[in-house]
Amino acid sequence: MVHTSGRKGARALSRLTVAAIAAALTDITAGTAAATGPSPDCRLTVAAPYFPLQATKSTGEIYVYAPNGQGAFGDREQITDADSRSATAMVNVDHAQNGYYDSAYVRTTDGTLVYSPEGKDGADEPAPIRLGSGWNIYDRLLSPGNVGGTKEADLLARDKSGVLWLYKGNGKQTDPFENRVRIGGGWGQYNNLF
């Protein structure tokens, strides 16, 4: 698996998100994205992952801020030819559980969940995969890693009534989750989940 760091890595991983959005709206495939090795300044562990901050504007612009390994971010970089207005949620995922995110889930405005995997060993990214519809019943999606005790990254989803659901990862790209499991209610008291 290619590890990413610095501005080039942040740009490559943001392209995964952009490709997933574009694929959800049209039938295109992902392009090539170069990724570099970790910066010697960043000491990464699963407990201290390298996840560039992605920010969007209401105009659809997507910006990336790569961590600099010194408690701050590098320069803001705009991802060109991208429009985030078709996405209502973007979740970075660390399937390898090595401190780097290596794929992304994107929920589009129509409730479709799209998985955008990273290419292996510097290869082109595979085409984004449409996983299904109906994901707009959730107001929050996140992937904090392995919550369910499997060897895969899981997805958590909070529905609009405040119930938190666990989707255990199973490692299959086209059908990546086991049946959802109810964690419990009362999660609506929180403004956001990270």
Side chain identity at residue 134, one-letter code: G
Q: How many CA atoms lie within 13 A of 69 on its CB side?
A: 11
Reported as a single tens digit per residue, the pLDDT across 54-97 is 788 888 888 888 887 777 888 888 876 667 788 888 888 887 77
Q: Which DSSP symbol is given to 123?
A: P
pLDDT over 90 percentage in the chain: 27
Containing 19, the helix (H) or strand (E) segment is: helix 6-25
107, 88 in Cβ contact below 8 A? Answer: yes
CA-only gyration radius of the chain, Å: 16
The pTM of the full predicted model, rounded to 2 decimals, is 0.68
Residue (of 148, 104, 151) closest to 126 by Cα position: 104
Reported as a single tens digit per residue, the pLDDT across 18-62 is 555 544 444 333 332 323 334 444 444 445 566 678 788 888 888
Q: Which DSSP symbol is given to 4?
A: -
